[in-house]
Chain A
């Protein structure tokens, strides 16, 4: 009688028997996936605790032999401490994804036959156990940072009670995200749209156009914060158009608009406000 293989036996098969073939497959997929590289640049599961949890189980089943059950590595076989990955090296999620899929040629790290989702779950898990936050904040001027925050950020973001409500509260951002991630969110916000701040575009029956942040939705209605930061709700049946474009309301700040030094000033203001608030 023939039975379908469970996922775990499938993984074992992949690891033990199909490894030579996978080198070829992985090589091909590198070429074939050039077009999708952009799509893969961002972890679609970023910050999702359930994905991190499932990724942890997968990690313990498939990766712990070399990297240890706590991902802190095993010195004797030269398997690195993965919790230091983002603090010691400037890896993007996409780079970690690629290493898991393709392996590291010339090292003991082999390619793996996980699905995209499984790899993103592993990346999310590794992010969750990584030493997080901004480790060494570049020097900056708190007072100048406060002015810049008020001018450039406070329409949408808050530090403490100060600022707008269209975007995430930034009071604890330095404790939650790496400098790399924060910089990416400022320079290229479209790469990772925060799922809690989805954009909504609508046109009312009278032809009024509104853009804002989605707060809730059911089959018959939609609740949003418009760009004027007003809480508004509409019946879907009374809208001429309703769209959820996959874009962030956050504008990209190029170096010309916000220099690296100015960003450091803002971050120092945020750090100062956070410390002063005693949180």
Chain B
């Protein structure tokens, strides 16, 4: 264990040595390597990647906090970010290694924080331009990627930064795209062997989405996968034969993907086609919008795809954490990927082949109630029969959790009622072009934490909230479910029954964030971001 004072001393030394890549290898000798990230939750004192491991299950093996003692849980410290997020949330998942938390905040703030006291070692703030586009409307960030002594963070002006984790100093930065057109970046980079994988935001602008891999040391770009095909490329037949339409086809990739190291495949969700609500100018299925894509990690080549919402008109991005699990399926072991989709359906796919195994609604959506034999939704209501789920969807990017053994997929569902009014947009660079407006009838909305049987999609239990929520879900192996709601409650539930066991009012809606947990000096800590605060909980005061 490194004493904080020693860390600071190291940091000072490194300040003098920073910048030249000559020293990069030596600096990277300490800190977690790829094998450590691959080991996932094996070391209970670490949380090294957005979901805790590559599977996206957000299921920690920790068991100190139980349904029997969670009532004694108390806040042990609160960290104030000093930066607000108008209209959105504090969406990050902190990483932790050696007692130090690495936390990104809104407006591209970031910190290294002592997990024992909540006091920062360093603070970082990116000097952002004042003419941000998408980044101004959603000035959020979901976390760091980490490798060795490096942290990786994306920015609202669409850069990827590599930082020295001991000092917060920038080692290199690479422009992902031109923010002035409408691009931004908000996700937590996914670090795999020799690569940092990132995606891009901006589907509400005339942009074209992509997923990219960068060399963690040099910052060199290794590959790019365009989510909207170029003219003549596979998938372009699902678009009009018009290069301009393809070039602004949308398909953002703004939420973290998952990784199967054995198959060497990356699974990533793709967002809405552009314009969001106005489909007249883009007849066709509009691949690979609203799809899950499986990419070869080495080359970025597309292995398979599944499109959840063909020709989307409702901004139902499929930017969800893909949840990987090896389960018994109809009597056979099967490697699956699961998605609770914004369109209101819960899906199970074979993650080797992309074959659809299950697609069942988890909300009262009238859009569709079943998936046809051809794998396409049977659309019953395109809006002409009233109420559709709102553009924020039946769930959203807030992480769900898979509880192995119970085989429950647990997510926060949103029941909403919206009317879409399409309108032909202007397509000016830097101007949002939703292609219409939406009216959401707030009186008819509510939220619910729902646990689905992954084998059938059947609702096993639910806990309802007064309003639709954006809070994420984490589970721990002691039989607990951790969730947040739009009224600001951070809550613990019995995973088997759904009974609420504990709650704490954080004072601000929990939006886009899910809890993370780790062991520190023999105590299990649980952290939740909310509003402008990061709060740590434990059963006893920290030593």
Interface residues of A (CB under 8 A from B): 1, 3-10, 44-45, 48, 50-51, 53-55, 57-58, 60-61, 113, 115-118, 121, 195, 217-220
Contacts and interface: CB of A to CB of B under 8 A. Distances in A.
A117 B503 contact: no
Nearest to B384: A10
A57 B437 contact: yes
Contact of B382 (A4, A50, A116): A4
A115 B422 contact: no
B423 A118 contact: no
Contact of B465 (A9, A45, A218): A218
Nearest to A118: B419
B421 interface: yes
What interface size band does chain B fall in?
A: 35 or more
Contacts of A51: 439
B422 A8 contact: yes
Contacts of A4: 311, 313, 379, 382
B306 interface: no
A219 B498 CA distance: 14
A219 B441 CA distance: 20
B423 A57 contact: yes
> Chain A contact residues: over half helix, strand or loop, or mixed?
helix
B166 to A, nearest CB: 41
B280 A219 contact: no
Contacts of A118: 419, 421
Nearest to A221: B505
B483 to A, nearest CB: 10
B382 A117 contact: no
B439 A219 contact: no
Contacts of A53: 437, 439
Interface string B445-465: 000000000000000000111
B104 to A, nearest CB: 28
B157 interface: no
13 contacts: A7-B382, A7-B422, A8-B423, A10-B384, A45-B441, A55-B439, A117-B387, A118-B419, A218-B465, A218-B466, A219-B465, A219-B466, A219-B485
Contact of B489 (A60, A121, A218): A218
Given A3-B284, A9-B280, A218 B439 contact: no
Contact of A54 (B382, B439, B466, B489): B439
A192 B437 CA distance: 26
Contacts of A219: 463-466, 485, 487, 489, 491, 500, 503
Contact of A57 (B421, B466, B505): B421
A66 to B, nearest CB: 18
